[in-house]
Amino acid sequence: MTLPRFHLGLRAHDFGRLPTAELAQKIGAAGFRVVQLAPFRGLADLPDDINALTPARARAIRNVFADHGVRIGVLSCYVNIGTGDAAERDRLVERYKRHLAVAREIGAEMVATETGSVNSDWSWHEANRDEATYARVLDTVLALVSEAERVGANVGIEGVVVHIFNSLERMHRLVEATRGHRNLRVIFDTFNLLTAATAHDHRAIIRRGFDLLGPAITTLHLKDYQVEDGKLVMKPVGRGDLDFGYLLAQAATLPRGLDLMLEEHTPDIASPAAAHLRAVAPANAFF
């Protein structure tokens, strides 16, 4: 069997908030060929105004990154679509739609978001577990998938254990609800699905994630962990206890290539993390 190609990248703003050309050059020079771009976090020369992200500006950003050998794989628009404040939710949904409208122009596979919390500040709320809350946010996501179909883009959803889509089962229900559509993508982040109590069983969680979500997964977010004093603590890839060899072996069973995005990896730790991933990847996989 020919293994899928893995494209190794990172979140652009982890390399700093810089003018577009400088940021693209810095990432390309470090050997990364794909990024997840949060334009208003990473691009110092983009005004902090959603109206500034026009189709023409998106094309220009895409071209600058391409000039340095870097593809924009994911366009970030992390907005709290689960907030219980209806007016705020409507505003954030519109912001997300504005990102969908330029996704093709910027070259992104998807526009990524998490589903957030009932609390507007993203903090944990007991109602995040409620079925009524889940159903409300599912309706919002389905509406965004319909909008993505209309404009020729894709919605990317990431599960997080303290958010509303907080389990593999809830993410699986989303995949089932959009079956027959081609405009949903899943971002799989092992760390974000763990707690201190479940981290020891992370291989089983990875396996179940690929069993339930399968081909809907098109991007992996990568960060490591250790449990310290009973708390789950994020670590750079290769400096913790997560079995990345097992994760990549599971990813290699999927029918298409994946973008692998390092998160929270500044330039000083990104290259060692990349080296670790290459060392543990399945035979014949390449980045």
Rg (CA), the chain: 18
3-state secondary structure at position 38: coil
> What pLDDT shows up at residue 180?
79
**The whole model's pTM is what?**
0.95
Q: In terms of Cα–Cα distance, which of 188, 190, 209 is closest to 200?
A: 190
> What pLDDT shows up at residue 16?
98
What's the angle, vertex CA 280, arms to CA 223 and CA 285, rounded to 5?
105
Contact 282, 3 (CB under 8 A): yes
> What pLDDT shows up at residue 23?
98
Mean pLDDT in order along the chain per 10 residues (287 residues) = 79 98 98 97 97 98 98 97 97 98 98 97 96 98 97 98 98 94 95 98 98 96 98 98 97 92 98 96 78
> What pLDDT shows up at residue 3?
59
Q: In terms of Cα–Cα distance, which of 237, 240, 235, 263 is closest to 248?
A: 237
Q: Quote the CA–CA distance of 102 and 256 in Å, as a whole number.
A: 24
Give me the CATH code for the 6-280 domain, please.
3.20.20.150
Q: Quote the CA–CA distance of 63 and 259 in Å, as a whole number.
A: 19
